[in-house]
Amino acid sequence: MQIQITPKSTTLAERVPRPIRSTLRYIKRTPVVWLVIIGILAFSSVFAPLLAPYHPLKDADFSAVLRPPFWEEGGDFSHLLGTDQIGRDIFTRILFGGRVSLMVAVVAITSGTVIGTGLGILAGYMGGMTDEVIMRFVDMWIALPFILLALVIAIVLGQSFSVMFLLLTLIAWVGFVRPIRGEVLSLREREYVQYARSSGASHSRVMLKHILPNVASTVLVLATMGAGALILSESILSFLGVGIPAPTPTWGGMISDGRSYLEEAWWISAVPGAAILLLVVSLNFLGDWLRDHWDPKLNQLI
């Protein structure tokens, strides 16, 4: 009696070489893709003067008005992403516009982090009337119509980088207070905090030495996710004409410039819109990964 041995069937995943499977598994479990996208956008923005083929303000070529990107009919490699309504190179303005967006977001999120984290720790640790006053102020601040407030401030103070920093800082700090306060309410009852207080440590020392290091991971997650929202806010303000004054290139301002040419020159608005989408999505996914990575409850499910 002849026994036939049928070969064991292999799945598609098993036929993939082990190094490729390991690489794909690593990419799936870490935010390497989003970090690469953020790194490319940040690098190209920081080194824009070296990478840009033209000057963002001076090199307007009126013989190349509304030239399409190189893959479209009528486009060429002299203007990779096309030109705008007065012949300025879109690729160059994207690079320099990224510098403005990233700089504004970094400054605003830094100042907002300091203010929001400080108020959140103070409210959660002190409690009582201090907590009540701070949280009611936060509720009132959230209820304010930000766009209307930004329009009034821009009209009164004018358009400038400092005004943009002020406007974004006014909304950046609010998102930190409630999560930090909730975590501090739990931390202040821990034994090491009680020991520090009973040993005579001052309130400021306890908050800085024992509370702040334990909420640092939460602060970093909130800052990462809030940076994307600030970049969107800056783009919205620039689109409405109350952001960085023209002719300084900004992604939001470029979208606004191209809204009258959407049918004949879609790339003027689409290219900066794609840049905003890539950066904001990457920052949000990075923030999600950091939150999942540092949350012990979520780590047990992975």
pLDDT digits (tens, 9 = 90+) for 227-238: 888 888 888 888
Count of beta carbons in the 10 Å neighbourhood of residue 103: 16
In the numeric block, the tokens 């509720």 are attached to 139
pLDDT over 70 (residue 9): no
DSSP label at 190? Answer: S
| 33 vs 39: CA distance, rounded Å | 10
Helix (H, G, I), strand (E, B) or coil at 89: strand
The pLDDT value recorded for residue 298 is: 46
Domains of the chain, earliest start first: 38-301 (1.10.3720.10)
Question: What share of the chain in percent tops pLDDT 70?
Answer: 89
83 three-class SS: strand
pLDDT at 126: 87
Alpha carbon distance 302, 294 (integer Å): 12
The alpha carbons of the chain give a radius of gyration, in whole angstroms, of 25
Burial category of 234 from C-beta neighbours within 10 Å (exposed 0-12, middle 13-18, buried 19 and up): buried
Measured distance CA(171)–CA(151) in Å, rounded: 14
* CB 53 within 8 Å of CB 89: yes
Q: Can you tell me the mean pLDDT for 10-17?
A: 57
Provide the phi-psi class of 161: left if phi over 0, else alpha when psi is between -120 and 50, else beta: alpha
Weakest mean pLDDT among 7-16, 34-43, 159-168, 279-288: 7-16
Q: How far is C-alpha 301 from the chain's CA centre? A: 27
Does position 60 have pLDDT exceeding 80, yes or no? no
What angle do helix axes 216-240 and 146-157 make, rounded to 10 degrees? 60
Give the chain's mean pLDDT: 81
pLDDT given for residue 238 in this prediction: 80
Contact present, 207 and 183 (Cβ < 8 Å): no
Quick: pLDDT tens for 89-138: 889 889 988 888 788 778 878 888 889 999 999 998 888 888 899 999 99
Do residues 181 and 132 make contact, with C-beta atoms less than 8 angstroms apart? no
What is the reported pLDDT for 297? 52
Model-level pTM? Answer: 0.78
Task: For residue 50, give Cα distances in angstroms to 57, 96, 255.
Answer: 15, 11, 24
Q: What is the pLDDT of residues 187-221, one digit of tens each?
A: 888 888 888 888 888 888 888 888 888 888 888 88
pLDDT higher at 6 or 218: 218
Query: What does the alpha-carbon distance between residue 302 and residue 298 come to, in Å, rounded to a whole number?
Result: 7
Phi-psi region of 206 (alpha: psi -120 to 50; beta: other; left: phi over 0): alpha
The answer to whether the beta carbons of residues 238 and 245 sit under 8 Å apart is no
